[in-house]
Amino acid sequence: MTTLTPVLTDNWDVAGSFTLDGYGEYEAAKKALGMDPDAVIQAVKDSGLRGRGGAGFPTGMKWGFIPQGDGKAHYLVVNADESEPGTCKDIPLMMANPHSLVEGVIISSYAIRANHAFIYIRGEVLHVIRRVQAAVREAYEKGYLGTDIFGSGYDLDLVVHSGAGAYICGEETALLDSLEGYRGQPRLKPPFPAVAGLYASPTVVNNVESIASVPSIIANGADWFAGMGTEKSKGFGIFSLSGHVTRPGQYEAPLGITLRELLDMAGGIREGHELKFWTPGGSSTPIFTAEHLDVPLDFESVGAKGSMLGTRALQIFDETTCVVRAVLRWTEFYAHESCGKCTPCREGTYWLKQVLKRLEKGQGSEEDLATITDIADNILGRSFCALGDGATSPIHSSVKHFRDEYLKHFEIGGCPFDPAASTVWGSK
């Protein structure tokens, strides 16, 4: 049986966990700044840490791409834009334990030889922004940020930057454009940020949880981290359960835990109901059903079953939920958030929305199912960035698993479900 392994969440039940008193003395940063920067990169490589922002790219390898001795400024940019539907781990992490992130920023910036770092936080989370601002200020006051940190001669400035509401700014190159003061639209890759990122300088963009995991690796060793998880998906991660579960919440566990195990801990699906469908990693990851309860939640196993681990945003829906309604709503989200830069995504998400609306009202036809599949085929792989690809995940996966439910809508000329039954109060 897999058990929970609180590391990043371990001090969340401590009063004042968001202060230095509640966190500790940045021992890991002290240790790291006494090491050679390359040794820090090597430790993160050896740990097997893979990006926690969705794509799972090996973090140490990404850092290794930063050219050295190039005479250019280097930057670390933390992606704290957390806006993928279902994803809700970085926000409570920064609320309760912002110092793990700030300490991680110091170690990571030192490793990539950056003297300026940014935390780009979505703007819609005021109290979280306050907590991160306060943690940064405390770190400055202690001399953990600024000049000659721990007497090592290393200087680092850290700026907390609030976004202004745009899901696309979570895409790393759109984020960089936004941070430079432009509309947040993705850039053509290559060049990758490691070569030409912020201000066309070598830049590492990492997710909050990736960076916050670094102090524990430095403090406890790469082997310690690699001792958790599965062969290619090492370490721990925060799994976020939401929806029709008895006890939704944040469960920090080794990668490779299954939804069945997590549901056991969370008291199962809400009483009197059963699992219908779920997302393993946010709305951009193809939906799973009860047949996937035992799939190990690691990058490889979820991929092998046709979805993606993504951000471990486990949105759980029971049998009262209409799949067509859910997919329509996600599609409206993608249409709304499409940045408009490329045609397949801009036009495709618009048309998907139109056809799905018709289908949901029971005014569609079997042909419409072919149409949405077709539109999705034309977005997938043809869009400028991964937002477009993500928009097709709910479409393809729902048609695959729930074709009959789509058909039912136009057979009876409406939605066969009562939305009141799926509400929190509807179950009582």
Ligand X SMILES: Cc1cc2nc3c(=O)[nH]c(=O)nc-3n(C[C@H](O)[C@H](O)[C@H](O)COP(=O)(O)O)c2cc1C
Of residues 112 through 141, those in contact with other proteins by CB under 8 A are 116, 122-127, 129-131, 133-134, 137
Q: Output 222 or 385, the one with its CB closest to ligand SF4.
A: 385
| CA torsion through residues 382, 383, 384, 388, sign | negative
Contact flag: residue 387 with ligand SF4 (CB under 6 A): yes
User: Which one of residues 385, 392, 393, 398 is an interface residue with ligand SF4 (CB under 6 A)?
Assistant: 385
Contact 353, 335 (CB under 8 A): yes
State the number of binding residues for other proteins (CB under 8 A): 104
Which residues sit opposite 245 in a β-bridge? Answer: 269
Stretches 53-61, 140-148, 217-225, 301-309: which one binds other proteins (CB under 8 A)? 217-225
Cis bond upstream, residue 193 (ω within 30): no
User: Which one of residues 79, 100, 109, 178 is an interface residue with other proteins (CB under 8 A)?
Assistant: 178
Q: Select from other proteins, ligand X, ligand SF4, none the partner in contact with residue 14, using the beta carbon and a kind-dependent cut-off of 5 to 8 Å.
A: other proteins
Stretches 68-76, 360-368, 369-377, 378-386: which one binds ligand SF4 (CB under 6 A)? 378-386
Contact flag: residue 384 with ligand SF4 (CB under 6 A): yes
Cα 242 to chain centroid distance, Å, stands at: 15
Contact flag: residue 210 with ligand X (CB under 6 A): yes
Contact flag: residue 402 with other proteins (CB under 8 A): no
Of the candidates 329, 176, 314, 312, the one whose C-alpha atom is nearest the C-alpha of residue 244 is 314
User: In whole angstroms, what is the distance from residue 121 CA to residue 272 CA?
Assistant: 39
Contact flag: residue 82 with ligand X (CB under 6 A): yes
Residue 338 DSSP label: -
Contact flag: residue 55 with other proteins (CB under 8 A): no
Query: What token pair was written down for 417?
Result: 């479900």
Binding to other proteins, residues 134-173 (CB under 8 A):
134, 137, 159-167
SS3 call for 63: helix
Q: How many CA atoms lie within 13 A of 19 on its CB side?
A: 5
Q: Output 276 or 341, the one with its CB closest to ligand SF4.
A: 341
Q: Output 86 or 364, the one with its CB closest to ligand X.
A: 86
| CA torsion through residues 127, 174, 391, 351, sign | positive
Contact flag: residue 5 with other proteins (CB under 8 A): yes
State the number of binding residues for ligand X (CB under 6 A): 23
Contact flag: residue 22 with other proteins (CB under 8 A): yes
Contact flag: residue 91 with other proteins (CB under 8 A): yes
For the CB of residue 50, give the shortest distance to ligand X in the complex, in Å.
7
Contact flag: residue 186 with ligand SF4 (CB under 6 A): yes
Contact flag: residue 278 with ligand SF4 (CB under 6 A): no
User: In whole angstroms, what is the distance from residue 204 CA to residue 59 CA?
Assistant: 9
Contact flag: residue 342 with ligand SF4 (CB under 6 A): yes
Please name the helix (run of DSSP H) or strand (run of DSSP E) that holds residue 152, with its range, or none. none
Of the candidates 25, 20, 32, the one whose C-alpha atom is nearest the C-alpha of residue 154 is 32
Contact flag: residue 268 with other proteins (CB under 8 A): no
Angular region, 300: left φ>0, alpha ψ -120 to 50, beta rest: alpha
Contact flag: residue 321 with ligand X (CB under 6 A): no
Distance (Å) of CA 254 to CA 2, 135, 233, 345: 8, 27, 9, 35
| DSSP assignment of 357-416 | HHHHTT---HHHHHHHHHHHHHHTTTSSSHHHHHHHHHHHHHHHHHHHHHHHHHHHTS-S
Contact flag: residue 368 with ligand X (CB under 6 A): no
Q: Select from ligand X, ligand SF4, other proteins, none the partner in contact with residue 345, using the beta carbon and a kind-dependent cut-off of 5 to 8 Å.
A: ligand SF4
Stretches 118-126, 213-221, 232-240, 385-393: which one binds ligand SF4 (CB under 6 A)? 385-393
Stretches 27-35, 53-61, 99-107, 359-367: which one binds ligand X (CB under 6 A)? 53-61
- β pairing state of 203-207 and 75-80: parallel
User: Which one of residues 283, 371, 392, 397 is an interface residue with other proteins (CB under 8 A)?
Assistant: 283
User: Which one of residues 241, 257, 376, 379 is an interface residue with other proteins (CB under 8 A)?
Assistant: 241
* List of residues contacting ligand SF4 (CB under 6 A): 168, 186, 338-342, 345-346, 383-385, 387-388
